[in-house]
Amino acid sequence: MVLQGDSIGQRSETVRRANLSALARDVHSRGTRSRSELGARSGLTRTGIGALVAELSARGLVSEERASPQGTPGRPSVLVQPNSDAAVVLALEIAVDSLAVAVVGFGGRVHYLHRVDRPRDRFSVDETVADLVELARGVRGRPPVRDALIGIGVAVAGITRRADGFVHFAPNLGWRDVPLGARLAEAFGSRVPIAVSNDADLGVLAEHRRGAAVGTDDVLFISGEVGVGGGVIVDGRPLAGAAGYGGEVGHLPVNPAGLACHCGSIGCWETEVGERALLARAGRRPEGGRGEVEAVLRDAAAGVPEAVAALDSIGRWLGFGLAGLINVLNPQLVVLGGLFGRIYPQVGETLRGELDRRALLSRLCMVRVVPAALGVDAPLLGAAELAFEPLLADPAAWMLTPARRPYIQSTDQTRPRWQSQI
């Protein structure tokens, strides 16, 4: 957007850059489009859109190609397609059960994606950082990463300050106050910006741009892993809150007579719907991890009463908390990620029954509840989107050097606040 909080006017240069940004976002998010369609969507003249496309093309971000005539009269349209090799990002994810790396190109093409499980121990920050460097070793020296890396995005299962990638608290990793952005920047020896964010916030970003929530402006994403994360889209934009901590739904108090939560409170939603709650209610070890969860799902499918009852309880408590959030946020769409997406077929009916009892009808009649479309990779793909943000926000600030070496952000630009200094 062009007008900032305190600004009441616009210069024409600002408008040109904003339009360039809007065009780059459009091509990145929606893929190949005809020049005339881009023109129609923008309201710009043929000349205006042509100049903007030419500028993106000069920077290597898009190519133009004449569409083959389709039997319609008139000149064939020119197709504008994103060059997925011209700018790529490295996406990393630090989950409790796994580490993952992906290489994603401009336009959203996933060049590479690799996830490795790890036993649920409390890995130190040093070990985790070293493992990530190792995991990415294979792709870093080769094209397109070698030639066109513009940024690194990181998803982490913890409460994170986007400004500098500082992880305040990641209870299920056993981390507190970790300068993760700075640590990764050092370990990767990177010249490109590293942006770190909470996994659920990135999950909703990815589902909104490329998953179940495309084209939907008011979305609530909740994801069950060991903890319970959430992300909220309000009027098409992520609910960040005062410091980027918005959407932390796991610590909504729902049960004054409930269990102690690791956050220090009692009866947080996470204590009623998280993985530990599921396992304990099914008569298994709360710390049993994913293997035990799979066993509960198998038992439930086979009709074992404890497993069925445990899932039923999760469904009811999911509905209880969701009803409140639907009343407060009035979303069009609730996307269930992680564990919640997996168990949705079994718990959907119970969940809906609870919503019917508790959510206000005016909200309920307009909200759909669906499982996540990107599955477990939503946060990783969201980390890629985060890393593209500086380029999308101001393509004019990025230069491709003649020898097709990495994009360097020109030095006269102020870096966006959320990038760590590297």
* CB 46 to a copy of itself: min, Å: 12
Pairing of the two strands 219-224 and 78-82: unpaired
Report in angstroms how near the CB of residue 176 gets to a copy of itself at its nearest: 11
CB 42 within 8 A of CB 19: yes
Contact of 310 with 296, CB cutoff 8 Å: yes
Nearer to a copy of itself, 169 or 344 (CB): 169
Half-sphere exposure of 141 (CA within 13 A, CB side): 5
CB nearer to a copy of itself: pick between 84 and 198: 198
Min dist CB 76 to a copy of itself, Å, is 22
CB 220 within 8 A of CB 335: yes
In angstroms, the first-to-last Cα distance of the chain is 27
CB of 245 vs a copy of itself, minimal distance in Å:
4
The separation between CA 310 and the C-alpha centre of its own chain, rounded to angstroms, equals 29
Q: How far is the CB of 18 from a copy of itself (least distance, A)?
A: 7
Q: How far is the CB of 125 from a copy of itself (least distance, A)?
A: 18
Cβ-based nearer residue to a copy of itself, 27 or 194: 27
- For residue 226, CA distances in Å to 169, 235, 250, 287, 310 come to 14, 29, 11, 9, 16
Residue closer to a copy of itself (CB basis): 13 or 121: 13
* Pick from 152, 154, 228, 136: nearest CA to 190: 152
Q: How far is the CB of 240 from a copy of itself (least distance, A)?
A: 7
Amino acid at 252: L
Beta-carbon contacts of 420 under 8 Å, excluding residues fewer than 6 positions away, are 164, 165, 181, 182, 185, 193, 194, 195, 196
Tokens of 382: 């969201």
**241 vs 305, beta carbon nearer a copy of itself:** 241
Residue whose CB is less far from a copy of itself, 266 or 295:
266
Q: Between 342 and 363, name the residue whose CB sits nearer to a copy of itself.
A: 363
Q: What is the DSSP string of 69-88?
A: P-S-SSSPPEEEEE-TTTSE
Q: What is the DSSP letter of 243?
A: T
Q: Which is nearer to a copy of itself, 298 or 357 (CB)?
A: 357
Q: Least Å distance between CB 263 and a copy of itself?
A: 6
